[in-house]
Amino acid sequence: MHIKRAALFLLFLPTVSSAQKIIGGPFVTMQVRGTATITWIVQDSEATVQQSGSTTPAKVYPALHTEKTTLTGLAPNSRYDYTVANGALKGSFKTPPAANAPDTPVRFIVYGDTRTRHDVHRRVMEQLVKAGAPDFVIDNGDQVENGYDAALWPIFFDIERELLRQTVYFPALGNHERNSSYYFELLQQRSGYYSFDWGNMHFSILNTDKPAFSTLAKERDALWDEEVRWLEQDLLEHQDATWRFVGGHHPPMSAVARRQEGNPHITALMPLFEKYKVQATFWGHDHNYQHYLQKGIHYFTSGGGGAPLYDVDKPPAGITQKVASVENFIQIEVHGSAIHIKVTAIDGSTLDEVDLKAK
């Protein structure tokens, strides 16, 4: 009798469709030194949602999960090829040079603010991929319009597919991610801020979105103070690196008149950058290109990944090197103590070029 009842119950259990599909990746992240995590994003099922009584079409929200595997024991400065999902998808990545091989050439790309105008995001990615697979990329945030919207991440991953499967991905958290758990889960991030080494370079990536830290002002301040203490210690302990770079989403200065006083907590970090001999910083949030030089530090803003362009109507006097309201990305070629930076606009033209020499 018991068994019969159980069988009857099972008969009416809804079954989950087996229509799984890979909607993102594969891509590689390196959140822990000496490891590489290959991730791909799987859509298991979906929710179809419509306002009651509405005649507008229902919206489909995917149920997503990440599949991943972490590799250790990798050789330095080596390219690895991989396949995932029983060989269905292929990717490759290169490991960082050994610390004692500072002259190994490295090429990386900085870009960001890909969150809207998907057709423009796609065109920027086409130019970026055409430039050749970089050793790694830094995505300075605002990957999607709203980090909580599950329907937006498959679009992001679709447009970024070709880039992501041939490089290593280091993201920063933008305000549009809204501190969403999707950012951390899908992009395999342990914390909103972190640092990493690549050859003779040290990178400190900040979580600049202080308003999203907490609903409580006191807690926001305490968390930001903790992050700034971490940054100072991180820079202090990496004074032996040839290059020190800081990245994040909100920039310390702006050529957009209505945004000039926008991020005082980042502007307040500039004395720290000077004290610990940071040579260049990379930001997003302003949807254009901006390059400043102040007290020997280059400040680059590249928010040109697809979000609607902003004017550069009030470039700060005395420090402005170049500003342009155009979609763009930054390529950085490193040869030991010499760096060549080339900024490319969406049409493939060169927007800016800079040579840096480490002292």
Per CB under 5 A, residues contacting Fe ion are 142, 174-175, 285
CA–CA distance, 34 with 317 (Å, rounded to integer):
44
Asked if 276 contacts 236 with a C-beta cutoff of 8 angstroms, the reply is yes
242's tokens: 């040839």
Q: Of 177 and 234, which CB lies nearer to Fe ion in the complex structure? A: 177
Q: How far is the CB of 115 from Fe ion (least distance, A)?
A: 8
Q: How far is the CB of 260 from Fe ion (least distance, A)?
A: 15
CA–CA distance, 240 with 253 (Å, rounded to integer):
28
Q: Minimal CB distance to Fe ion: which residue?
A: 285
Q: How far is the CB of 174 from Fe ion (least distance, A)?
A: 5
Q: Of 107 and 117, which CB lies nearer to Fe ion in the complex structure? A: 117
Q: Of 142 and 234, which CB lies nearer to Fe ion in the complex structure? A: 142
Q: Of 142 and 227, which CB lies nearer to Fe ion in the complex structure? A: 142
CA distances from 25 to 31, 65, 132, 236, 332 (A): 17, 12, 18, 35, 24
- In what side-by-side order are the strands of the sheet with 194-198? 194-198, 201-205, 243-247, 280-283, 297-302, 289-294, 320-324
Asked if 111 contacts 139 with a C-beta cutoff of 8 angstroms, the reply is yes
CA–CA distance, 265 with 334 (Å, rounded to integer):
30
Q: Is 60 exposed, middle or buried (0-12, 13-18, 19+ CB in 10 A)?
A: exposed
Q: How far is the CB of 113 from Fe ion (least distance, A)?
A: 6
Q: How far is the CB of 267 from Fe ion (least distance, A)?
A: 16
From the CB of residue 211, how many other CB atoms can be counted at a distance below 10 Å? 14
Q: How far is the CB of 196 from Fe ion (least distance, A)?
A: 22
Q: How far is the CB of 170 from Fe ion (least distance, A)?
A: 17
Asked if 38 contacts 82 with a C-beta cutoff of 8 angstroms, the reply is yes
- Dump strand ranges (E) for the chain: 21-29, 36-49, 59-71, 79-84, 89-94, 106-111, 136-139, 168-171, 194-198, 201-205, 243-247, 280-283, 289-294, 297-302, 320-324, 328-335, 338-345, 350-357
Q: Of 142 and 352, which CB lies nearer to Fe ion in the complex structure? A: 142
Q: Of 152 and 201, which CB lies nearer to Fe ion in the complex structure? A: 152
Q: Of 174 and 199, which CB lies nearer to Fe ion in the complex structure? A: 174
Q: How far is the CB of 298 from Fe ion (least distance, A)?
A: 21
Q: Of 142 and 327, which CB lies nearer to Fe ion in the complex structure? A: 142
